Amino acid sequence: MTGSGKYFSNGFDTQFIRSNITVTSALQKRVELVMSRILKLPLLTISLINGHCTAAGAVLSLCTDFRIMAEKGLFFTPAVKLGIVYSQGLIEVVKSKVSDPHLLRDILLLSRRYSSEDLLRLNLIHSRVCSIDEGFNEIDRIIQTNTGFVGSSLGEVRARMHKQAIEALESDVNSDMWWSKL
């Protein structure tokens, strides 16, 4: 997956949410189910992060196995600064990819902004590229290097790796993300 322009994804459209607060829980649940499906796919997944990757968009990128990011991209999760709370499912996705408790704190609580250089050093992205064309070349390289990794066993291992995140994302509970605080 990739975005366009200087944005990969800014997550939920806060203007839409402010105007449509009654449908927000259903919208959130649908996004969480998409994340769950990505985590269980029976093939390797790759995000080409062409620019800013924030909020639920940042979490969505973490659902993939490989992340390639443009040099000028930024990654951050501003929920606490906005007065909202990420659902347990979104938190579990981040926890499934970030094992360092200090980094987890900085991402989820302090809304720290990370450059692609920071993310490469922290092993949250696979590579850093100057252009989208370089990104697509890197995707081709990853695919060529990892041919044959597809099928039900891969999907099952991916599902087991991310079991807690998937269970939280698929929970029937529509968690209160405090959207009304926006």
Whole-number pLDDT of residue 174: 60
Residues 6+ apart with CB under 8 A from 123: none
pLDDT at residue 2 greater than cutoff 90: no
What's the pLDDT tens digit per position in 97-156? 999 999 999 999 999 999 999 999 999 999 989 888 899 999 999 999 988 777 788 999
Architecture per CATH, 7-171: Alpha-Beta Complex (3.90)
What's the pLDDT tens digit per position in 17-66? 888 888 888 888 899 999 999 999 999 999 999 999 999 999 999 999 99
Q: What is the CA radius of gyration of the chain?
A: 16
Answer for the pair 80, 171: CB distance below 8 angstroms, yes or no. Answer: no
DSSP state of 7: E
Domain ranges of the chain: 7-171
Residue 144 to residue 14: CA distance in whole angstroms: 39
Q: Tally Cβ neighbours within 10 Å of residue 177.
A: 20
Which of the listed ranges 80-84, 135-139, 171-175, 177-181 does the model predict with the highest average pLDDT? 135-139
Answer for the pair 65, 48: CB distance below 8 angstroms, yes or no. Answer: no
